[in-house]
Amino acid sequence: MSNPTLLILAGDGIGPEVMAQVERVIAWFGDKRGLAFDVENDLVGGAAYDKHGTPLHDDTMAKAMAADAVLLGAVGGPAYDDLDFSVKPERGLLRLRKEMDLFSNLRPAQCFDALADFSSLKRDIVAGLDIMIVRELTSGSYFGEPRGIFEEDGQRVGINTQRYTEAEIDRVARSAFELARRRGNKVCSMEKANVMESGILWREVVTAVHKADYADVELSHMYADNGAMQLVRAPKQFDVILTDNLFGDILSDCAAMLTGSLGMLPSASLGAVGENGRPKALYEPVHGSAPDISGQGKANPIACILSFAMALRYSFDQGEDATRLETAIEKVLSGGARTGDLMGPEGGKPISTTEMGDAILAALDASL
């Protein structure tokens, strides 16, 4: 049997720096755990624009469709701010999500004990936090039509459309319920049914799916604004949060900061399960390209490495090795290793991106 394939799209800014550490981790699992992957690298975002004049070349799109999993670093940067909207780096990422039909975006927010004092919230509010945001990723106001900037009565109007079909809500709701069954068995669905028809439909469909097939899971509903408030008031009340594309974008940044640093948060974007028994899948850190620190060896590679751990778990059914990697990272953090983003109240000397990679590989060696 041939090895599973990974397409690596390191992208822009700190993307290539953090991805270099992920490649070392991938090689480690090949050498030491017999989990060999065929890895191919390609361009996305500004890097692809610089070479091809488009943030995602059709050949790269085809490779992503064929790969067993895609690992993405980050896209965007100030050099691309003035580009036409249609070729902005972010369009490359959105095209991947849309054409791969990655409707279920899993964003875990877990507070590592060693970092509980780094959160902007008090330790007892975040210590032990383990929530999962399931964000719908292929529809809603990111993609709804009509959209654009139009002339109307002598002035311009900017239009985006919040639009969800029953089928779109149904499938992402199912993925949230399935996930909840493997965790704390609770789903809180967030929308704005008090002001938006799309929210009313969202609530109806989620309720119907629950009643039909997942009545064993505890379901609650919350308006998304209240959800944002509850996330900073008492985040441990949640297990799985199910929400749409735009609310999920905002709520997941908020949840990320509960854990101490955006440099810690991985994500998985999953589509339907294909003939090979695997879902179409893209794994990426929640953080962006961080142009302010890019090229300086300061970036924290953990979010990107944890994204590979999610790939092991969700694409390759290697839950045990995913846990091995997560545990190695936890050990490194409790041993005091810190990149600059993790400089807490106690201060200290930050280590570099590569040194963090070294420490994680050493902890992996120790796990054998």
Q: Which residues are catalytic?
A: 142, 192, 225, 249, 253
Which two structure tokens, joined as six digits, stand for 135?
């964000």
Closer of 90 and 130 to ligand IPM (Cβ): 90
Residue for token pair 């953080």: 287
CB of 158 to ligand IPM, least distance (A): 17
Q: How far is CA 100 from the centre of its chain?
A: 15
Closer of 191 and 249 to ligand IPM (Cβ): 249
**Which residues sit at the interface with Mg ion, rule CB under 5 A?**
249
* 150 three-state secondary structure: strand
Separation between Cα atoms, residue 51 and residue 43, nearest integer Å: 9
Q: Dihedrals φ, ψ of 297, to 5°?
A: 70, 25
CB-closest chain residue to Mg ion: 249
Q: Which does 68 bind (CB under 5 to 8 A by kind): Mg ion, ligand IPM, none?
A: none
Closer of 23 and 90 to ligand IPM (Cβ): 90
CB-closest chain residue to ligand IPM: 90
DSSP line for 314-340: HTT--HHHHHHHHHHHHHHHHTT---G
Q: Does 68 bind ligand IPM (CB under 6 A)?
A: no
Write the Ramachandran bin of 265: left for phi over 0, alpha for psi from -120 to 50, otherwise beta: beta
CB of 35 to ligand IPM, least distance (A): 27
Q: Are 74 and 93 in contact (CB under 8 A)?
A: no
Q: Does 179 bind ligand IPM (CB under 6 A)?
A: no
Closer of 45 and 301 to ligand IPM (Cβ): 45
For residues 69-98, which are near ligand IPM according to CB under 6 A?
90, 93
Residue for token pair 């992957």: 37
Count of residues that interact with ligand IPM, criterion CB under 6 A: 3
Q: Which does 90 bind (CB under 5 to 8 A by kind): ligand IPM, Mg ion, none?
A: ligand IPM
Residue for token pair 């090795």: 321
Binding flags for ligand IPM, 227-266, as an x/- string (CB under 6 A): ----------------------x-----------------
Contact residues for ligand IPM, defined by CB under 6 A: 90, 93, 249
